[in-house]
């Protein structure tokens, strides 16, 4: 297997794991922000979107001090389950998930807010529980937005750099994703050809993912209608 292909496969694996693992939490948070009014709602919304406005290096350092082997969560995971995420590809997925989480939540929240509350009220008037109404009415109608949010998070994860390099470093074969590999090559004289190969692969993967997302979202929208 060529080095470029290995980097692409690692990047796709990290992005997929980050997107799939963070999706359930993103749906729950989006539902809360879209359908609940409570004290502290603005604070929760600000916390969710904080990774978008903070420098990625700050996010990466906070992850390192929290999930590193000497951090409170990282030490617990290592002692209780033998799980280490710092300087591992799983840590790269965690960093990518944190950075893409606000984009996913925002897209899902907007989709849920577009769902007619009268449809939910009709389901509840027929005896459906709030949970069943959410699963059978709200989320299916918001599915195109959920898919769009997942693809936004995937694209963000695929290009994540600052938080990743701070949290899990730049280890070949373990944490060196496409963005880190391109950055490494820019520091190496005579690597223009390799840089362009990785750039082409990165653009191709991202473009394919976006096209697939758009096609799937349109299909789901037609079925919903």
What pLDDT, in 10s, does the model give residues 102-116?
Answer: 999 998 998 898 888
User: What pLDDT shows up at residue 95?
Assistant: 94
User: What pLDDT shows up at residue 225?
Assistant: 66
**Residues 102, 45 contacting (CB under 8 angstroms):** no
User: What pLDDT shows up at residue 70?
Assistant: 86
Domain 3-224 has CATH 1.10.3720.10: yes
User: What pLDDT shows up at residue 13?
Assistant: 93
Domain edges within the chain: 3-224
User: What pLDDT shows up at residue 206?
Assistant: 78
What pLDDT, in 10s, does the model give residues 179-188?
Answer: 899 988 888 8
Query: In which residue ranges of the chain is pLDDT below 50?
Result: none
User: What's the pTM?
Assistant: 0.88
Label residues 180-209 b or e (16+ Cβ within 10 Å = b): bbbebbeeeeeeeebbebbeebbeebbeeb
User: What pLDDT shows up at residue 221?
Assistant: 67
Q: Which residue bears the tokens 């989480």?
A: 101
């Amino acid at each position: 297997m060529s080095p470029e292909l290995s980097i692409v496969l690692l990047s796709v694996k990290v992005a997929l794991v980050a997107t799939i693992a963070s999706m359930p939490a993103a749906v729950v948070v989006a539902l809360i922000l879209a359908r609940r009014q409570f004290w502290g709602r603005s604070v929760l919304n600000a916390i969710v979107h904080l990774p978008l406005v903070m420098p990625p290096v700050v996010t990466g350092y906070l992850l390192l001090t929290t999930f590193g082997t000497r951090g409170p969560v990282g030490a617990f995971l290592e002692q209780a389950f033998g799980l280490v995420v710092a300087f591992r590809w799983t840590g790269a997925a965690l960093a990518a998930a944190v950075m893409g989480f606000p984009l996913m939540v925002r897209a899902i929240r907007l989709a849920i807010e577009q769902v007619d509350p009268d449809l939910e009220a009709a389901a509840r008037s027929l005896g459906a529980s709030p949970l069943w109404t959410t699963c059978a009415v709200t989320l299916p109608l918001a599915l195109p937005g959920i898919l769009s949010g997942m693809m936004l998070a995937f694209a963000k994860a695929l290009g994540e750099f600052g938080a990743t390099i701070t949290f899990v470093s730049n280890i070949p074969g373990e944490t060196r994703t496409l963005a880190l590999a391109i950055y490494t090559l820019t520091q190496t004289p005579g690597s223009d050809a390799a840089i362009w190969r990785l750039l082409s692969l990165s653009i191709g993967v991202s473009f394919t993912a976006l096209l697939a997302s758009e096609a799937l979202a349109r299909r789901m929208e037609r079925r919903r209608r």
